A and B are shown apart, each in its own frame.
Chain A
Amino acid sequence: MEILKLNETPIRTSRNFNINNINLKNVSIPQVIGNFNNITIFNKDTKTNIDNHISKCPLLYGVGENLISQVNNSANQTINITINNKTNNELIIHFDFDKDNLNLVDNIQINTIEGAKATIILIYKTLEDIEAFHNGLIRVFAQENSNIHIILLNLLNNKSNNFVSIENKLEKSSNIDYTIVDFGGKNSITNYYSNLIGDSSNNTLNSIYLGRENQLFDLNYIGELRGQKSNINIEVQGALKDNAQKHFKGTIDFKKGCKKAKGNENESCMLLSDTAKSMALPMLLCSEEDVEGNHSTSSGKIGNKELFYIMSRGFELKEARKLMVRAKFNKILENITNEAIKEEIFEEIDKRLD
């Protein structure tokens, strides 16, 4: 079985630091035959067009060459979504994995036309005790003054593999918000890239991860600011229990000319066991003077004082921990207005922390 070398950072650091990329040894890319049929689309309205005509253009980053090549050449689902106008509808697409739909290679393209507004929720979930494989690409083109919120839920089981590449292009005064809930997968590898090319464009990425057993999360989030007064905010909250591992690689790159741009990234990891491992590489790259960039990361366990306070109110240790994790994630999950989906996420949190 070959070693999959994935998720390279835009700039390398010392090889001895073990964070420039991830090497997966026991994962093979399956050959995908036939369509993935277990897809359900809810809430499509007249302001939204959906077809399967994907335009191919090269990807700047992406999870890895082999996986991107698979998406481009043998995707078993292609979805092209065009948002033509403002809509308050939430378009929801469920991808449900079962023994007849084990492998999904999906290529999703989302275009928001000038002035359009929408929310799209993508849910990937295993319904059975299977070893699923997901390799997906999401590309978003936000035209001027458009506004889109994408909610991405990875609720796969811990036997599966999850690879996601995201590329966003933001034109003038456009806004893309992402809320990513990353819970599933033996390996969950995400490459997220935003190209803020338009002046006053705005990108917010709110992400939570929850790892247990031997799960590995490798999150490579990259924002390149080119437009004047462009703005990116990356907020990542996570918790790791058992032997789970997380690599967070965040890059905010202020390109020459992005005057008065702002970039912030914050990653915070709650360690719930003494064998969980948290690595972080929060990079700020800057070749423009008139900008503001900040990053911060922190790791540690739940404070004894906080636990003591909650337990003094009659909760057991396990319940107190759940409350603390919920409270930490709630800041991110507030961005999801769909109560049913939010409730499903909270149930997953409780289940995974049991």
Chain B
Amino acid sequence: MKMKTKIEEINRNIYDIKNKDEYEYKIKKGLTPEIIAEISKQKNDPDWMKEFRLKALDVYNSLTLPTWGPDLSELNMDEIATYVRPKTNLSSSWDDVPDDIKNTFEQLGIPEAEKKSLAGVGAQYDSEVVYHSMKEELIKQGVIYTDMETAVREYPAMVKSHFMKCVPIYDHKFVALHGAVWSGGSFVYVPKGIKVDIPLQSYFRLNSPESGQFEHTLIIVDEGASLHFIEGCSAPKYNKVNLHAGCVELYVKDNAYLRYSTIENWSKNMLNLNTKKAIVGKNAKMEWVSGSFGSKISMLYPMSILNGEGAKTEFTGISFAGKGQNLDNGFKVVHNALNTSSVVNAKSISKNGGTCTYRSLVRVNENAKNSKCSVSCESLMLDDISRSDTIPTNDIQTDEVEFSHEAKIGKISDKTIFYLMSRGLSEEDAKAMIVRGFAYPISKELPVEYAVEMNNLINLELEGAIG
């Protein structure tokens, strides 16, 4: 019998490091106004934030679960603790972070990456940010990079005018949930004209079982400024469901540039119901780079709203679903001004019974004349017990538009293997090259360190034929 090439799933040794479930405070499980009020008290919220949380809880209770996508019936909010404060305060030196937490981040390579290739790092452990630091020269230029709680206290006007305005709590049930229980996350402000050449990174780690992480990331890149922000996330695997319902709000002002890169590697008991949205101004550019490898269920559709004339966006993403995973990911873009453009390049790999779905929306409004949009998605099936779906919605409301969408689904082509072999490659090398080549458009968009990590995530063990 012909041997099959095995494309191994992610080597999770590093990510599955489990620390003892120690915390300073863990809120009781469930969702009630009393619990929300207690979170607000624990976090020392200003009054407006407490009221906001309680209103969000009302909205959460009024909205239904989605009638589409993966089955979320196993999620029982009565079994989830929405706030877990670790046994440490926020530090700006790794030496002050407790050893077990520090060791976890060291094994994940965060302090090392900070030294080598980052301009600033934020590290969140369960519900609170435990480490935040940024290079001195950026502070002098007026760049703000801090945890969300500090931002609420120290920059109230800026936070109040942007917080959950880009992603309103009415968007869907899990945004409302986020509004009620959010904790941690990062706040970034890049002043007008400042170019941050080296990336900032926030890393989110959820250690506590049967809990949720609800970090809020708010980034404002002011006119003419630029930034590359990297988000990483992981958790060890437990037997019961954990929940991640973070929220990312990005404001890319006129002529500004923002690249938002994500390597998501949650454990396979995680429901990842995250929401990310960017509002893009005149002649500004928003780029999303996304690698989705972890989670039991993921429903993640980053969105760009092109509000300014000449605004641009690009989405480059890959999903890899293995055994027991259902990754329902995609992208949404709304063209809402003249001469806007978008380019979408999405890929997915399904194996070992995993399910990948690409779900998207392209909407070109009547006022978005002379807009252009090009979408390409490719899905690779590595066995016959997996599943791959492509569900794109395209809504074009004006004639002055160039819109095209292409999608392909299938296995590795025998012809391509034959071609490479005729050029002297062994069958195994040919197949390895094809799979790496499939992921290359995504990995080339990542900083080198992260591209290496992503390639390591897709280990190839070659023993014969694919298919």
Chain A interface (Cβ < 8 Å from any Cβ of B)? 11-15, 17-20, 254, 256, 269, 271-301
Contact = CB atoms under 8 A, between A and B. Distances in A.
A293 B410 contact: yes
A17 B395 contact: yes
B407 A290 contact: no
Contact of B392 (A12, A277, A282): A282
Contacts of B396: 269, 271, 277-280, 299
A290 B366 contact: no
Given A281-B394, A284-B390, A13 B408 contact: no
B384 A17 contact: no
In the complex, the 7 A-B pairs of residues with the closest C-beta atoms, listed nearest first: A271-B399, A12-B68, A293-B409, A301-B399, A299-B396, A289-B384, A289-B381
A289 B405 contact: no
Contacts of B392: 281-283
Contacts of A300: 399, 401-403
A18 B393 CA distance: 9
A11 B467 contact: no
A254 B379 CA distance: 13
B411 A301 contact: no
A289 B467 contact: yes
Contacts of B400: 274, 301
A296 B406 contact: yes
A278 B402 CA distance: 13
A284 B409 contact: yes
A172 B396 CA distance: 40
A283 B391 contact: yes
Contact size range, B: 35 or more
A281 B393 contact: yes
B399 A276 contact: yes
8 contacts: A273-B399, A277-B396, A280-B405, A281-B393, A283-B391, A289-B382, A289-B411, A295-B405
A17 B67 CA distance: 13
B369 interface: yes
Interface in B12-67: 66-67
Contacts of A281: 391-394
A284 B366 contact: no
A210 to B, nearest CB: 15
Contacts of A280: 393-394, 396, 405
B389 A282 contact: no
A292 B414 CA distance: 12
A287 B381 CA distance: 9
Contacts of A291: 381, 409-411
Contacts of B407: 282, 284, 293-296
Given A298-B404, A300-B401, A290 B467 contact: yes
Interface string B411-433: 10000000000000000000000
B359 interface: yes
Contacts of B359: 13-14
B7 to A, nearest CB: 13
Interface string B362-404: 0000100100000000010111101111111111111111111
B361 interface: yes
B394 A13 contact: no
A298 B405 contact: yes
B391 A297 contact: no
Nearest to B358: A284
Contacts of B366: 274-275
A286 B409 contact: yes
Nearest to A256: B384
A19 B399 CA distance: 20
Given A12-B68, A283-B389, A298-B404, A277 B382 contact: no
Contacts of A283: 389-392
Contacts of B68: 11-15, 20
A285 B389 contact: yes
Nearest to A246: B396
Nearest to B373: A299
B390 A19 contact: no
Given A14-B66, A274-B366, A286 B388 contact: yes
A12 B403 CA distance: 23
Contacts of B403: 297-300
Contacts of A17: 361, 393, 395
Given A298-B403, A300-B403, A290 B390 contact: no
B369 A274 contact: yes
Given A13-B391, A284-B379, A301-B399, 19 more contacts: A12-B67, A13-B68, A13-B69, A14-B359, A14-B393, A15-B66, A274-B369, A278-B396, A279-B393, A281-B393, A282-B392, A289-B386, A290-B467, A291-B381, A294-B407, A295-B390, A295-B406, A297-B403, A300-B399
Contacts of A299: 394, 396, 401, 403
Given A15-B67, A287-B387, A289-B411, A279 B398 contact: no
A271 B398 contact: yes
Nearest to A284: B390
Nearest to B389: A285
Contacts of A294: 406-409
A97 to B, nearest CB: 32
A280 to B, nearest CB: 4
A288 B384 contact: yes
Nearest to B376: A296
Contacts of B394: 278-281, 297, 299
A255 to B, nearest CB: 11
A312 to B, nearest CB: 22
B398 A274 contact: yes
